[in-house]
Structure 1
């Protein structure tokens, strides 16, 4: 897949570890470089008693020791505040010499645009943004907003915003045609720092509870998520760990008992397959014992993740299948290619504009 991406002109990729085990990324970084990629190492932010300044400073040092193309400070949960950004980011940059930094912050708590500005003030050279209507909400801040604010502060933001406007118009037309939500700024919520469930997951939890006739218990579920995260050793709430925590919280509330029923993913987590010894050491011993004291856990004790070879994938999907379609099917799912084709046909006319726009002009 990486070789194909390089062939298509992609030269940069970000890599990370869900537990910030940065030293484990050296081999991956070197393999990517041999294939023609320039790897950016993620250092992910989180909030808990174990995620101290020294914790992040040490991860920054470890990232710099690998000598990556760049380092990215990643706030996937939207948990940073402008004050915390001003306090922490300069300390990280001070440990990494002349390696450039990127900043990746979500807007879950309404502070993403402000945090981006503070990161630049601290010395970060690259800020991740999104094109509306895919900006704000639980996404990154709007590229238009951040660029204009940086220019107002006297920084050079070498972007042609006018060239981006057609892309924004196209995405907005598709969203309205399909009834998709358009990203909007969200209000600040102090409770975000307790449960740390990403905003996009909350709607999934509401659906799970509604299916069980408990749609009015979302607040209880969010409180339970904070307890589950503590029981699991305070994992960083990033995919897939945040899904494990949130789904287990919903199961606990639905059944009225903690860990009476658990998913296979939670069992794999308890066996150390999503964090290794660090995840096991951080878990509440009694909770881990309860999760593993069931027949299904014993069945999965020696489970190995299937890793099909390229030859096996060719045999499954056909020798004539293009590289792009093979990658899509292998990673996303067997029906992924058909979904993409159907969506492309539905949304675009002959010149690539949304069909609804062409009809209006006719």
Structure 2
């Protein structure tokens, strides 16, 4: 179906961040990313995801590369392209909440080092956990993109997703992202959701999906038909399966449908050749299987979660209990208020389900599970199991305020603890305190 008039669809190529994370565990070194980035800069894409997610952690923990230099260098290689990062709300690029002053320093530093667009999400979709990041992004004059996490459960409806988007608009974001981290959104639902969002909010809509279940390209095209303004995709060597829809195929299809993207298909294919060469250097980090796996349509468990679980069970000589754990995961998820399965909540649910199967249901309640039941992560999409909550609370009351309000300012103490360091260096210590010492030792 051709649009009545040529409409611009903005392409965000996410090969350099989520493409790498989804296929080769974020292990690509900066020098190799730059080869692809320089070619991408010539293609006409509107934006590129270059930072955030697991990149900060992997740079510090494994690659021993300066994460801030990565942001700077990739922006320098693509000065004409919007550089986007994924930020986990109050968790920043880690797995637990930071105080508001640390959030503010981090956002200012990220902007200073080249980030233009901040895609903000919260694992519980508690939009209060977006607030400090949004305020900070507005301070530095950058683009705040609020993400709604798409997931399937009895309580997740089109109306609920639209309500979350309205909350984000009220909090001052510049655009809305649909973040389908498991590739579960189907074409019809995509069309309905994007259409509903276009009516409900006055902001641009951006779709992020994966291709785990083979639905990605179909859903992306239906999103565009419904009026979606921006689409995430990756160069062909990183496309499909646990990856995302293919940039070259998407651009070709959109042009044939009468949409404008500003992209040069020939130059995209050249960039893809470089990406193919780079991916080949990191075959040791490839997952055993990263193609389409339609079991997720039944289990609703992200492929990355499944592969990690299988690996851990194999190490414990308990792989024969896998199917029991798969059956237990939705029960735990219901007990914890139907939380989305995304970092860090996916790890919380799977760990607790594993304990339940191997040791007996809730014989052990993991610390992270207890903290979630206490309200320390925020408000869950549905009420949690009251009996479980009573067990962990004892005589306490659950947290009902924005969790970060309970945290005292951390920055003054950090400055005292690390005199003479730059803000960027202090932030590495603040976010990954256990890994920072080894990282800085490697830099001597």
- The match for 2:364 is 261
- The match for 1:138 is 242
Q: Choose from 331, 335, 338 the match for 2:435.
A: 335
Q: Kindly tell me: are residues 285 and 86 of structure 1, through their superposed partners in 2, closer, same or farther at Cα, counting changes over 3 Å?
A: same
Q: Where in structure 2 are the equivalents of 1:51-70 lying within 5 Å? A: 51-70=156-175
Cα deviations by residue, 1:186-218 (Å, 9 ceiling, x for unpaired): 1323xx255432211112211332233211221
Q: Choose from 164, 169, 183 the match for 2:271.
A: 164
- The match for 1:273 is 376
- The match for 2:383 is 282
- The match for 2:48 is none
Higher-Rg structure is 1
- The match for 1:250 is 354
- The match for 1:153 is 257
Secondary structure, aligned partner of 2:219: helix
CA contact (8 A) 1:16 1:25 kept: yes
Work out whether 1:216 is the aligned partner of 2:320: yes
Q: Kindly tell me: are residues 291 and 56 of structure 1, through their superposed partners in 2, closer, same or farther at Cα, counting changes over 3 Å?
A: same
Q: Kindly tell me: are residues 185 and 149 of structure 1, through their superposed partners in 2, closer, same or farther at Cα, counting changes over 3 Å?
A: farther
5+ long unaligned stretches in structure 2: 1-105
Q: Distance in 2 between matches of 1:146 and 1:312?
A: 49
Cα deviations by residue, 1:158-187 (Å, 9 ceiling, x for unpaired): 2341452355134313213x3434985413
TM-score, normalization by structure 1 = 0.79
5+ long unaligned stretches in structure 1: 345-362
Secondary structure, aligned partner of 1:94: helix
Q: Where in structure 2 are the equivalents of 1:35-74 lying within 5 Å? A: 35-74=140-179
Q: Distance in 1 between matches of 2:408 and 2:244?
A: 33
Equivalent residues, number: 330
Q: Kindly tell me: are residues 154 and 128 of structure 1, through their superposed partners in 2, closer, same or farther at Cα, counting changes over 3 Å?
A: same
Q: Distance in 1 between matches of 2:277 and 2:418?
A: 33
Work out whether 1:197 is the aligned partner of 2:291: no
Secondary structure, aligned partner of 2:206: strand
TM-score, normalization by structure 2 = 0.66
CA contact (8 A) 1:209 1:218 kept: yes
Q: Which has the higher contact order (CA 8 A, sep 6+)?
A: 2
Work out whether 1:187 is the aligned partner of 2:290: no
Q: Distance in 1 between matches of 2:441 and 2:274?
A: 20
Shift of 1:10: 1.5
Q: Distance in 2 between matches of 1:202 and 1:31?
A: 36
Q: Distance in 1 between matches of 2:312 and 2:289?
A: 23
